[in-house]
Structures are given as C-alpha cells and as structure tokens.
Amino acid sequence: MIEISSEICARRDPPPSSRDKSSNKKDQSSSSPHTLDKIQDKIVQDADSSEGTGFWTVSEAAQRHVSLPTVAAAHFMRIASANRAERVKISELFQLESSKKEIPPKDVCDQRRKEITVEDLRTTVYAATLAAYVQGLNLLARTSLDEEWDISLANCIKIWRAGCIIRSSQIANFLQPLLQKNDKCTNILLIKEVSAELKRCFPVLKKVVLKAIEWDAHTPAVTATLEWIRYCASEHLPTNFEEAMLDYFGAHSYDLLSEGAGSVKKGKHHTEWKPA
C-alpha cells in the first residue's frame, strides 16, 4: 500500500495531445495537474456494504475486547467521508481553517519542511504500520485463544510476506523471529523488543501529530496510534473516574489502588455516593 501510494502521489494527467494514447510516465508533464487532486474525497464502499473488511475487523475487535484504534480510526473516517454532500453543508457551518483550500505561502511551506523532515514522516508511517500489525496480531491471538484454533502468529507473518496488500518485509523480518520465541503471547506489546521499537518511534510520532493538528492536517490513524501507545503504556489512567461513575449509578463496584494491579473482573468495593 505504501508503494502504490507513492505512485498515486506522483501521477499527473497527461497533456491533451497524448490523452488518446496509452498513458505512461513520458506523457506526464511536471506542469500537468496531479490526478489525485481531481478525485472526490468520498469512500462509499463502507456505506453501500460493497467492502466489509474494515467493518468485520472493527466489529470483531469490539466483540473480543481487543483495542484496535489505528484500524478503527481509519475505518470511521472512511464512513464519515461517504456522504460528501452532507459533509460540505456541515463544513459551511463550522468554517474551520482546514476547509479553506488555500495553498500556504512558499515561506510557510519552507518553514514546515524544516520543522518536519522526510525521515520524521517515514518514522511516523513505520510506527503506525507496526502498531496496526501489533493490534491485528493481538486480535488474532485473542480469537485463537477463545476459539481454541492454536494459530501460529509467526506463520501468519510468513504468509503475509507475499500478500497483495500486506507485505512489509522490514516489519516481517522484525516480528517473525520474535513471535517464534513467544508463540503463546496474547499481547504483542509485552514482547520487550516490540515495545522498545515503538518507544524509539514515540517522540517523532508525537512531534508529527502535534504539527498535524497545528496545520489542520487530517491524520486520524496516526493520532490514534499515538494515543494507543500512551494509554496502553500508562500505569495510571483517568478511567478510575469512569469506574467511580459506574459504581455511582449502577453499583458495579471497584478495586482499590492499594490492592495491587488488579484483575479483569469486578471489584470488591462499593460506595453509597449519595444518601437515599
């Protein structure tokens, strides 16, 4: 997918004199408009159910209680893009800066190139791709455990090397030997080498996300990847507030911090938050 993305971004319309001929790189002039700029920004395959991969994956992850935000964020953006006519009307109500199709001045573009390098972008794409791999493998591992399929994640990586969509040799070379040594692992983030690699990419990933927000660029999957790393790697989350709320309105109970790490089951304590 990275390979075809580069070809799409480089593609320009052939000049009028060559449009009747078979198109090739020689027909493309550097002054010709990019083909991508003419394409409507809507994906309808999810809306008309002609494509179900994203839906199946996100639904399965929710059912199996596996966090899959990188994939889910990309899927939900596709859904939001489908009704373009409706989206145009909403954009008129919000009048966000990102809705203005003005090209930034040259000095602004030059400054941005200094702030974010090509290597920064490469590292960010790599981190998000690795995160998607890890999330997908976690889903496979959990499903295999639930259904007693005894799936070999290392063999999955081996098969994907020649896939039509997934075939990242660099990530495959990195993950396959680790999965062979940790074949019963149900959360790939627990493999030290994987966590170390994502930790290495984290500062650049954060830098790019912050700049993307500042520049009104849409990066839902990359942003979701950053948040996923942050909350999966945090000892303390603000979800204790939600736990208290669940106990308040439904007496769902909770565990105490003083009782250790806890387990994936209801706690032993309840508070009468408001006198009857």
Residue that wins the pLDDT comparison between 176 and 47: 176
- 108 with 220, same domain: the answer is yes
CATH of residue 69's domain is 1.10.1040.10
Considering Cα of 130, then 212, then 76, then 146, what sign does the dihedral take?
Answer: positive
Is 266's pLDDT higher than 60? yes
Taking Cα atoms as reference points, which of 238, 5, 262 lies closest to residue 121? 5
Q: In terms of domains, do 191 and 122 share one?
A: yes
Average pLDDT of the residues in 262-270: 93
If phi > 0 it is left, if psi is from -120 to 50 it is alpha, else beta; for residue 9 that is alpha
- For residues 180 and 258, membership in a common domain is answered with no
- pLDDT tens digits, 149-166: 999 999 999 888 877 667
Q: Are residues 185 and 143 in the same domain?
A: yes
At residue 167, the pLDDT reads 72
CA distance to 30, 33, 214, per residue, from 192 (Å): 47, 47, 33
Report whether pLDDT(107) > 60: yes
CB 270 within 8 A of CB 247: yes
Please calculate the CA angle 202-228-138 and round it to the nearest 5 degrees.
110
Instruction: Tell whether the model's pLDDT for residue 126 goes beyond 60.
Output: yes
Do 207 and 165 share a structural domain? yes
Same domain, 189 and 118: yes
**Mean pLDDT across 212-218:** 91
CA–CA distance, 78 with 132 (Å, rounded to integer):
17
Residues 226 and 273 in one domain: no
Are 187 and 268 in the same domain?
A: no
pLDDT grade for 98, boundaries at 50, 70 and 90: low
Number of domains into which the chain is organized: 2
Q: Is residue 132 predicted with pLDDT exceeding 60?
A: yes
pLDDT number for residue 68: 96
Instruction: For residues 64 and 138, give the distance between their C-alpha atoms in angstroms, rounded to a whole number.
Output: 10
C-alpha span between 216 and 209 (Å, rounded): 10
Task: Say yes or no: 134 and 76 in one domain.
Answer: yes
What's the domain range around 275? 246-276
List, for residues 73-88, the tens digit of each pLDDT value: 999 999 999 999 999 9
The reply to whether 267 and 227 lie within a common domain is: no
- What is the average pLDDT value for the chain, to the nearest integer? 89
Residue 30 lies in a domain: no
pLDDT number for residue 50: 85
